[in-house]
Structure 1
């Protein structure tokens, strides 16, 4: 049945801690990202993250720094965990925010990065890449690579150890995180990824997985939303099977760094995330896969209202601490 002309997923099938937010979204008219301009979508997203996200934790140090990219500069933000002496070199987690390559910034995911830093005892460095459609593929991905290069060359100043590193991100950020985690060029820079943390990542930009047919209305992120994000990020002649866009299509037989991955059932990205975890496991990779059938995309940026999101951050932090051998 085509859900674009049918009823949305019934509220009773939505997780108890998430149903109020979904009900409110439906009552308000289901205005989503693709229904407004990119500028308005960015503003709306920041408001939602501020309203629904975790309260920001105090960290030992927070600094926003500029780093060079092609034809300009971009920003990153360093979060040093509380309780770690200033002169101690720590492991590092590189975090890449989601938002379909179009929305989101350092502020939208600030509380997530604070929590991950304190709970993992690793320094978290969040990356602000330039956004589409002003900067289409591969600019955002190239910016993230440039950030890794900057972190590696400035490691002694930043008091981080790039040989004890982990990379992660949500949604589009998870896409770029796993692409870079498996890119030998990052290791050639001196960054050794001991693991990757992916929250409901984009892994197949061909949009061919069955969950695109299931999630067509009733949620902030639907198949139509993802088609809109894809149109903003890529050009009309882009081959969506490119490994930098659709890592799932190139994952079979490729052993990856240890993987912590979250998928949610009410998400057009659900099936590609599940398939990505399965392919990694078949290739002999260590995989910790958490599937939440009753939740929707964005549970992490709504962790202030959705208790499951807060719990997932704790589990991710435990994974990070274990892989980076911190003293939490």
Structure 2
């Protein structure tokens, strides 16, 4: 179908904004933070922030708690964009919606960003945060037996990689992984959607190349399964997944290929391609009508898997 008219209006509004890959990193970060003012506020919830220790310093976490009596399922969430940009604040609305609609405590992790911290540093932060949250789940109002990981875009990559590492490196047990238009592979050779949606729909191929250039410490890291989980030789024994893709997204095909590989490995997978949407469309819940059913699907999945 054509690009959703409300998505197209947002694309038109941003037509004069400098392309991300043309900017120094601090300016690109400021440009993305400025988008917060355009987003709809999420539901009112109890929130608090705290820091945990990790090698090299503290790691900040923002906790969202749903209404109702706990303990609740716990979603450890990793934000996108591209391992380089965004923050707890840019993803506050998404986390609020997942918490309220999904009936789960959400722990949003402020992992270190590239290029200051290159691969595998962010993956280490996400693993440390997930293990800490699982170990301290009761203190967070959550159930240590119902822990999930999730994220959007690069955060979806980090969630998938965290699930892989937990499987291979000794727990804790996860009950699910929520992968929202995730990065699962390097940009080269790329998939058909990389060519079809290379430019004109928000995220571009050139921006993805810029992200990867900042994230990887050396070219050989591009094929490491902890950078590109689609290249992992074995995807068996991973937790059930919900994977959402967007029709007008360079990452569409790699998200769906990851779903195919999980399914082939015996992992229960639900995958939905959202027609007319572009990369990052869940930012616009409350502004773009077509984003609401995708968020509802994510929340329904969280409730279903969290209450088995």
Q: TM-score, normalised on structure 1?
A: 0.88
Aligned pair partner of 2:44 in 51, 58, 64: 58
Count of aligned residue pairs for this structure pair = 307
Which residue does the alignment assign to 1:8? none
Q: CA deviation at 1:260?
A: 0.7
Q: Distance in 2 between matches of 1:264 and 1:63?
A: 32
* Of 19, 23, 30, the match for 2:8: 19
Superposition pairs of residues 1-328 of structure 1, within 5 angstroms: 13-26=2-15, 28=16, 31-51=18-38, 53-59=39-45, 61-82=46-67, 84-85=68-69, 88-184=70-166, 188-189=170-171, 191-208=172-189, 209-250=191-232, 254-325=236-307
Deviates more, 1:259-268 or 1:203-212: 203-212
CA contact (8 A) 1:264 1:295 kept: yes
Contact 2:166 2:173 in 1 (8 A): no
Normalised TM-score (structure 2): 0.93
SS of the residue 2:284 aligns to:
coil
Whole-angstrom distance in 1 between the partners of 2:106 and 2:287: 23
C-alpha displacement of 1:186: 8.0
Whole-angstrom CA distance in 2 between matches of 1:278 and 1:252: 13
Q: Select the structure of larger CA radius of gyration.
A: 1
CA distance in 1, matches of 2:221, 2:27: 29
Q: CA deviation at 1:293?
A: 3.7
Question: Does the CA contact (< 8 Å) of 1:200 and 1:270 recur in 2?
Answer: yes
Cα distance change, pair 311–257 in 1 and its aligned pair in 2 (3 A) = same
- 1:212 Cα deviation (Å)? 2.0
5+ residue gaps in structure 1? 1-11
CA contact (8 A) 2:176 2:240 kept: yes
State the secondary structure of the residue aligned to 2:245: strand
Unpaired stretches in structure 2, ≥5 consecutive residues: none
- Secondary structure of 1:240's match? helix
Counterpart-to-counterpart distance in 1, 2:306 and 2:251: 28
Q: 1:130 offset after TM fit, Å?
A: 0.8
Q: CA RMSD in A?
A: 1.9
Q: Report deviation, 1:180.
A: 1.1
The 3-state SS of whatever aligns with 2:179 is strand
